[in-house]
Amino acid sequence: MFSKKKKSLCSSNSKQHFVHRCDEMCIDFKVCVRLDRVRGGRQKYKRRMDAGNTAYLGLTLPPPAKKPLTKIVSHLLVAEPEKIYAMPDPSMPESDVKALTTLCDLADRELVVIIGWAKHIPGFSSLSLGDQMSLLQSAWMEILILSIVFRSLPYEDELVYAEDYVMDEEHSRLTGLLDLYVSILQLVRKYKKLKVEKEEFVTLKAIALANSDSMHIEDVESVQKLQDALHEALQDYESCQHTEDPQRAGKCLIVVGGWRGRRIYDHFFMRYPKM
């Protein structure tokens, strides 16, 4: 947990840096929230009959088609941000300083992307500006970590911080990020076991935002409606696409609820307390 003065990431475009703040949020953060920074029917089969003969000859039934996605899940898939690149400085030797500089710059840019992405979550923009900022400020790190987890699923014991920045255990140890590596890798393994799909991932990200642990919500009822709508969307998806596992939605939510991005955030700042 943080003290009254918390460390947070300032999203200033001039240079990434961390600042101390009390209750006042970063001015740039407020500006980012105010501004948008981001950019079938059923097939019918006719019976063919010959005169005086109603028997079917050589009838082949088509395989059952998957049910269409819910409107919210489809919307979240479209709103998913494009791939992001770390673009580490090639002139810098591999070190903890280079790793920190690269990840700080990456987090700075991802924060702006997350703010723009949140505006496309159905129902989010209907919340008050204060509640939007409270949810984002509380959950942005968790959303960032979830993105790293999903990108890392196809890899074996490697974390994909960005498309061009992948770290294994040895690289993490050499750069002083082993604790961060171990913490995130635990989540990767849990989601690998569940074989989480992209449709589930985008919905879980939105749920993580709506379910953030912010203590400064103005309109609790409106936030609760957003939470309910997203939970229902996940449940509907699972009931349509994974009928063999009626408990799947609960399993996905348990993984999300069993950790908070802030704990991993603490690992990062314990390693670099002066940033």
Lowest mean pLDDT among 90-99, 153-162, 196-205: 90-99
106-139 pLDDT per residue, tens: 999 999 999 999 999 999 999 999 999 999 999 9
| pTM of this structure | 0.73
User: Is pLDDT at 4 greater than 70 in this prediction?
Assistant: no
User: Would you state the pLDDT for residue 273?
Assistant: 45
Q: To the nearest whole percent, how much of the chain has pLDDT over 90?
A: 54
238 — pLDDT class (breaks 50, 70, 90): very high
Residue with tokens 């009931």: 239
User: Would you state the pLDDT for residue 33?
Assistant: 62
179-193 pLDDT per residue, tens: 889 989 999 999 999
Pick the CATH number of 67-271 from 1.10.565.10, 3.90.1580.10, 2.20.25.570, 1.10.287.130: 1.10.565.10
- Please answer whether residues 117 and 33 qualify as being in contact, where contact means their C-beta atoms are separated by less than 8 angstroms: no
CA contacts within 13 A on the Cβ side of 22 = 0
105 — pLDDT class (breaks 50, 70, 90): very high
Domain ranges of the chain: 67-271
The mean per-residue pLDDT over the stretch 147-153 comes to 96
**DSSP secondary structure of 138-207:** HHHHHHHHHHHHHHHTTSSS-EEEETTEEE-HHHHHHTT-HHHHHHHHHHHHHHHHHT--HHHHHHHHHH
24-70 pLDDT per residue, tens: 445 555 555 655 544 444 444 444 444 444 444 455 555 555 566 78
